[in-house]
């Protein structure tokens, strides 16, 4: 896409337009393609790597620059760099149907990859392949939400798939070392958060090796610190309790 701007005689190429409606008017900025996401995620810090020009337009493709009075009315300032930042952060990226379709396909694959990485068949403890998760997502007619992170959507997908197939988040294996005088009260509070106790050994201290849902880790760690006043220790032995080999649908 190449845009000729007669206002300043600059030919803008490789343009991604970001648009915002404010005070009943449309405002646009011209960015480099594939840079907007980098700015929004914090990877890119230099505005000049993202913006083709610090001008604010009413129509980038026609090269129509916004009037100063319209900027002041809509944004309370005519500082174009500051306005560009606002539009870049909160505006809507304009993409073609083909680009949108490609983005959604990529997000679908990314979500399936996260689910496959986090989950197993609870009976065999084996992970599912990405292809099998993609197929299962299509079977439940999962629709990708472009404005939601792939990680958030992966957690939604896991919940939906749990109703249709044998799947759960792979358990995390932990080892606790707890002071004997603190262990009884803490053990009762930990009980509902632990899936399986594998080892429970009393010596001068209590050692517990157990499996938990990864989503409970933070709560467990905070509980341990609070109840033992920092005396107990917690060690992650395995991030994922899985068996070798991929799971297959029968």
Instruction: Give residue 225's pLDDT band: very low, low, confident or very high (50, 70, 90).
Output: confident
d(CA 153, CA 145): 8
Q: What is the average pLDDT score of the chain?
A: 86
229: domain CATH number is: 3.30.70.240
Would you say residue 2 has pLDDT above 70? Answer: no
Please indicate, yes or no, if residue 106 is contained in any of the structural domains.
yes
pLDDT at 167: 94
Residue 26 or residue 61, greater confidence: 26
> What residues pair up with 62 in beta bridges, in sequence order?
none
d(CA 37, CA 136): 29
Question: 198 near 238, Cβ under 8 Å?
Answer: no
Shared-domain flag, residues 111 and 68: no
d(CA 38, CA 49): 10
Write down the residue that tokens 């600059």 correspond to: 10
Shared-domain flag, residues 87 and 39: yes
d(CA 116, CA 233): 31
Q: List C-alpha distances in Å: 151 to 71, 143, 158, 217, 230.
A: 37, 15, 11, 17, 32
Q: For the chain, how many structural domains are there in total?
A: 3
Put simply, whether the predicted model's pTM sits higher than 0.85 gets the answer no
Shared-domain flag, residues 26 and 76: yes
3-state SS string over the chain? CEEEECCCCEEEECEEEEEEEECCEEEEEEEECCCHHHHHCCCCCCHHHCECCCCCEEECCCCEECCHHHHHHHHCCCCHHHHHHHHHHHCEEECCHHHHHHHHHHHHHHHHHHHHHHEECCCCCCCECHHHHHHHHHHCCCCCCCCCCHHHHHHHHHHHHHCCCCCEECCEEEEEEEEHHHHHHHHHHHHHHEEEEEEEEECCEEEEEEEECHHHHHHHHHHHHHHHCCCCEEEEEECCCCCCCCECCC
Token digits of residue 190: 């930990």
Please indicate, yes or no, if residue 234 is contained in any of the structural domains.
yes
End residue of a domain, out of 109, 135, 168 = 168
Please indicate, yes or no, if residue 153 is contained in any of the structural domains.
yes
Averaged pLDDT for residues 15-35: 91
End residue of a domain, out of 168, 194, 223 = 168
Please indicate, yes or no, if residue 126 is contained in any of the structural domains.
yes
Shared-domain flag, residues 56 and 70: yes
End residue of a domain, out of 118, 144, 168 = 168
Structural domain containing residue 234: 171-238
| Max avg pLDDT among 9-18, 36-45, 67-76, 188-197 | 67-76
Angle at 65 between CA 64 and CA 66, to 5 degrees: 120
145: domain CATH number is: 1.10.10.900
Question: 205-212 and 233-238: which strand pairing?
Answer: unpaired
Token digits of residue 4: 């000729």
What tens digit of pLDDT does each residue of 110-147 get? Answer: 999 999 999 999 888 899 999 999 999 999 999 998 87
Please indicate, yes or no, if residue 245 is contained in any of the structural domains.
no
Please indicate, yes or no, if residue 138 is contained in any of the structural domains.
yes
Please indicate, yes or no, if residue 244 is contained in any of the structural domains.
no
Shared-domain flag, residues 175 and 206: yes
Shared-domain flag, residues 176 and 163: no
Please indicate, yes or no, if residue 3 is contained in any of the structural domains.
no
Shared-domain flag, residues 142 and 119: yes
């Amino acid at each position: 896409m190449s845009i000729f701007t007669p206002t300043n005689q600059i030919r803008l190429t490789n343009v991604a337009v970001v648009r915002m409606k404010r005070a009943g008017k449309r405002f646009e900025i011209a960015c480099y393609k594939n840079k907007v996401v980098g700015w929004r995620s914090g990877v890119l810090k230099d505005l000049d790597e993202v913006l083709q020009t610090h001008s604010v337009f009413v129509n980038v493709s026609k090269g129509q620059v916004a009037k100063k009075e319209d900027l002041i009315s809509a944004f309370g300032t005519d500082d174009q760099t500051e306005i560009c930042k606002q539009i870049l952060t909160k505006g809507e990226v304009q993409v073609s149907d083909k680009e949108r379709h490609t983005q959604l396909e990529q997000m679908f694959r990314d979500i399936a990859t996260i689910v496959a990485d986090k989950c197993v068949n609870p009976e065999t403890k084996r992970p599912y392949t990405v292809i099998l998760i993609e197929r299962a997502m299509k079977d439940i007619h999962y629709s990708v939400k472009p404005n939601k992170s792939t990680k958030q959507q992966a957690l939604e997908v896991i919940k939906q798939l749990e109703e249709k197939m044998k799947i759960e988040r792979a358990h995390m294996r932990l080892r606790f070392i707890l002071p004997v005088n603190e262990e009884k009260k803490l053990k009762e509070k930990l009980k509902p958060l632990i899936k399986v106790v594998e080892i429970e050994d009393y010596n001068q201290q209590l050692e517990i090796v157990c499996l938990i849902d990864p989503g409970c880790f933070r709560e467990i760690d905070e509980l341990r610190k609070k109840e033992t006043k920092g005396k107990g220790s917690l060690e992650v032995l395995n991030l994922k309790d899985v068996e070798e080999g991929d799971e297959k649908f029968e």
